[in-house]
Structures are given as structure tokens and as C-alpha cells.
Amino acid sequence: MIKYYNMSSVYASPLEGLPSFPTFTPIRAAMKETIERYTHKFPRYSDYNFFSMLTYDVFNSLQISVLNNNLVVIFRDYISLKPFYSFIGVSQVLETTHILLNESAKNGYGDALKLVPQTTIDQLPPDNRNKLTVTEDPDNNDYIYSLKDYVNLSGKEYRSHREKIHRFKKKYPDIDIRRVDLASIGKDALELFSLWKSNKIKSGNKVDGIEREAFRRAVEYAKLFNLITIGVYDKEKLIAISVVDVTNNYPTGAFIKADTSYGEIFRFTQHAKAEVLLKNGFIEMNCEQDLGIQNLRESKESWHPIKYLKKYIVGEA
């Protein structure tokens, strides 16, 4: 069923201080409160999570504007790095879409908008949808998990996870899980990232150089955000880290890195993260998209998401 939002509740929190389209401005840390006050009215799409937006803006190229009380963003494609337009909002969606498509073509950004949330798509008038091509983008749908299911691992569908986590605990009985402050352990965290990267390259896998800078920015901006950071230690050696941003009482997984010489360390750390979140009273978590990377997709599917936050590619018909 299409959900039409209460426009008065959206207009009650305008995007004060942000430029009106077609003027854009680079994203800045000082915009955190304004943008989060707006985006918290919608499902927690990872692309519009301010922590993600700020940390992954490694080229200082992310631009924002306001059109018809919708938040417009010029992102870079996570794989190709090519810029494109997207927006989130529920006001005059059809008009906003056509304006942005025209602007995108004019500026050489392509003939489609990307990462357009289901929330926004639902506001397109049904009798006008034939004027647009609206295509689901499964590579960028967010995975949403029940923390209770993630932690309990009940049923045959979780058998492999149960067995491998049990073997990990038996092999490494002295492993310690700690809630840590990312800013305080930044040096150790970055060294762990470098070790993960080195091990990944040695195993013949490609590594996205952008993520290293994004992680460094996460350390730099950590104190501005409500982060739950879990460190996994072997004695006093940091062997894994998981960083979760909590915005408006909703957790979104951001980074997870580990020393892969410890077999099944990622599986163990993912489970440990969910345990900490569940103990802190959260019900579900967003673990972002898989970007069409097959092994990442298989891993995310193996934890059995309860739903997806869907996103779309939109063009002129």
C-alpha cells in the first residue's frame, strides 16, 4: 500500500540555512543537526545517514541543495565515482524529479537519478508514473535485520553461523569484546585497517582505496556522533573493530575491519556487534547495501534480513 506522508509534519522541520536549488553547497560537519532533523522523518536509508555522507566524502565533492522542501544531493557512484543527482523527500515529487533529470542531463551527470528512496517513489502520482522509468536497484537496497534473530541464531537457517562462531570461541577462549571510544583508539584502529588491507591484497582481492580515507575521517569526526564501537581483543591486541552510528535512536552499521589471520573473525565480530546493540535496547539495524558484490551479497543474505529499504533509478520514459 502506498503511504502518503503528512506534509505538515515534514514542513514543520524545514532545511534552514541550506541553499535553494539550483545553488549547491559542499556538505559540512556543521550541517549535521539540520540534515538529521529532516531525514529522521523517513526510514533510515544508509545513503542519507549523515555519518556516512560526511565520512565517505573523501573528495570533498558531495553537494547539497533544497528543492520543493526535498533534500537534493550530488553523490559520487560508489564504484565508478561518477557524480549523479539523488533526492529524498515527499513534496512535489513529480515536479522535483523532472527538474533534476533536466539539470542532470544539462550538466553531463547522465539521464537518470539514482538512490531515490522507496519513500520518495511512493509519492509519485500513479497516473503520471508512465512518464518516467522507475527501476528498482537491488545492488543498493539496504539490508535490515532483526537483532533478536541475529543474536539468537535459532533454526536450521542459522546452523552454519552457530557452528562456526562456536568453533571460533573454542579456538580463541581468551578473546575479549569491549565497548571502545573510536577517537581514543584511532591509531590502533587505523593500524588494524592497514593490516586488513594488506591481508586482503595478499589473498588476491582488490581493495577500495577510498575506504581507508573514509575510515580515517570516521576517526577524525567520531566525537561529533553517537557511535557504538566494538573492539575485539586478543589480550591487549586489537584484532577486530565494528563501528555503528546511532542517529535518532536507530543503528546503522558503518565499518567492520579485522585481522583475517583469525579464522571466522568477521562472523564472530558481526555477531558480537548485534549482541551489544540488542543489550542496549535496539530492535533492528541497517547493515547498508551490497553494491552488487557477489561475496558481500551472499554474506549479507546468510544473516536473513527481515526486510530491505529499497532504492530506485529514475529516468524519463
Sequence ranges of the domains in the chain: 7-141, 143-288
Question: In the numeric block, which cell numbers belong to residue 74?
Answer: 550530488
**pLDDT at residue 8, as a whole number:** 39
With H, G, I as helix, E, B as strand and everything else as coil, classify residue 195: helix
182: nearest Cα among 174, 173, 193: 193
| Whether the Cβ atoms of residue 113 and residue 317 lie closer than 8 Å to each other | no
Amino acid at 31: M
**pLDDT at residue 127, as a whole number:** 74
| Whether the Cβ atoms of residue 230 and residue 180 lie closer than 8 Å to each other | yes
**pLDDT at residue 16, as a whole number:** 84
**pLDDT at residue 200, as a whole number:** 81
**Position of cell 541543495?**
65
- Span 143-288: which CATH code? 3.40.630.30
With H, G, I as helix, E, B as strand and everything else as coil, classify residue 282: coil
Domains 7-141 and 143-288 share a fold: yes
pLDDT tens for the chain, 317 residues: list them.
444 444 434 444 468 899 999 999 999 999 999 999 999 999 999 999 999 999 999 999 999 999 999 999 999 999 899 999 999 999 999 999 999 999 999 999 999 999 999 999 999 988 765 689 999 999 999 999 999 999 999 999 999 999 999 999 999 999 999 999 999 999 999 999 999 988 887 766 665 678 999 999 999 999 999 999 999 999 999 999 999 999 999 999 999 999 999 999 999 999 999 999 999 999 999 999 999 999 999 999 999 999 999 999 999 98
Q: Which residues have CB under 8 Å from 139's CB, separation 6+?
A: 289, 290, 291, 292
Helix residue ranges, H only, the chain: 7-11, 32-39, 50-55, 93-106, 118-121, 147-152, 159-171, 186-202, 209-221, 265-279, 294-302
Peptide bond into 126 cis (omega under 30): no
CATH architecture of the domain formed by 7-141: 3-Layer(aba) Sandwich (3.40)
Amino acid at 14: P
Q: Which residues have CB under 8 Å from 213's CB, separation 6+?
A: 58
Spatial separation of the C-alpha atoms in residues 247 and 34, rounded to whole Å: 13
